[in-house]
Amino acid sequence: MAENKIPYKIYLSETEIPQNWYNVRADMKNKPAPLLNPGTHQPMTAEELEGVFCAELVQQELDNETAYIPIPQEIQDFYKMYRPAPLVRAYCLEEKLGTPAKIYYKFEGNNTSGSHKLNSAIAQAYYAKKQGLKGVTTETGAGQWGTALSMACSYFDLDCKVYMVKVSYEQKPFRREVMRVYGASVTPSPSDTTNVGRKILAEHPGTTGSLGCAISEAVEVAVSNPGYRYVLGSVLNQVLLHQSVIGLETKAALDKYGVKPDIIIGCAGGGSNLGGLISPFMGEKLRGEADYRIIAVEPASCPSFTRGVYAYDFCDTGMVCPPTVV
């Protein structure tokens, strides 16, 4: 019989779910480049951003100083439905690789929406509700973010308008329908429901859409409908802040078992799960308390770290969003 391998999973108890998010920007000497006003090219002010985003999320977006931001009780209670997420020892992978390394992975898929996106979706829906808004708009590509947001909005009884990249809308009908089951409206993008959508359709008839088009449409709907704001599932500072719950739990679980990681690896698309996972470890590194090797893994098809230029650009096709460093 094989040797008894214990533990397969490191669980924390419900009371060990973090009560604060950790804002790694507080420990960064070089702060991230700010969002710019597309007209003046000056950093966007809170007032300007509040036309697009929920007020409290704007505060989080611009806060480069506060290291720990309390997680509101309602969000902590929601987290308890699927957190703490297990940290699993990958014995089979270790064996297959024949490596002496001890490999652990943090599993964020054990919630109904199926991804880490819910960690931020529930926070963003909470602040929208608290502000007394009617609803939120967003874009989704493959549908993970749209699904998580639909679920979060349904929990807080908020309207949710999702612009889904047309090709995904057609290729992934089940994703689309899950969002509708949660009560969201799902529109294939580009659509004729917005000015920017109509313009893109006129210029590129037959286009199957892109994330950039869908963002432009969602932003237009948010800013032109009273009681609506736009929310985003990746890239932003506020999203990374919410996703720090992943890293905080990982660190707490490893500390509980006296494991100190040498290497931390994460996949990076928009950077939110990677950033969330590494935040508390990076904080220790920045404060000179510990050292870790951190590896970001990116897709070869759209490498954002190893190729391209570090420069300001629009993240949407309609060029209505504040330019950000991409």
Ligand X SMILES: *Cc1c(COP(=O)(O)O)cnc(C)c1O
Q: Report the interface residues with ligand X, using CB under 6 A.
A: 117, 141-142, 144-145, 233-234, 268-274
The alpha carbon torsion through 319, 225, 169, 175 (nearest 10 deg) reads 120
Q: Identify which of 70, 22, 58, 9 has the alpha carbon closest to the alpha carbon of residue 248.
A: 22
**Least Å distance between CB 206 and ligand X?**
24
**Least Å distance between CB 225 and ligand X?**
25
**Least Å distance between CB 276 and ligand X?**
8
Smaller CB separation from ligand X, 133 or 168? 168
Helix boundaries (H) for 257-296? 272-286
**Least Å distance between CB 247 and ligand X?**
12
**Least Å distance between CB 297 and ligand X?**
10
Q: Which residue has the tokens 């009371």?
A: 15
Smaller CB separation from ligand X, 145 or 163? 145
Smaller CB separation from ligand X, 161 or 242? 242
Contact 7, 45 (CB under 8 A): no
3-state secondary structure of 75: helix
3-state secondary structure of 69: strand
Q: Which residue is nearest to ligand X (CB)?
A: 269
Q: How far apart are CA 64 and CA 263, in angstroms?
A: 26
**Least Å distance between CB 262 and ligand X?**
23
Tokens of 311: 């420069």
Smaller CB separation from ligand X, 72 or 269? 269
Smaller CB separation from ligand X, 219 or 232? 232
Smaller CB separation from ligand X, 144 or 189? 144
Q: How far apart are CA 134 and CA 206, in angstroms?
A: 33
> Which string of b and e fits 199-236 if b means at least 16 CB within 10 Å?
ebbeeeeeebbbbbbbbbbbbbbbeeeeebbbbbbbbb
Tokens of 296: 């970001």
Smaller CB separation from ligand X, 193 or 304? 304
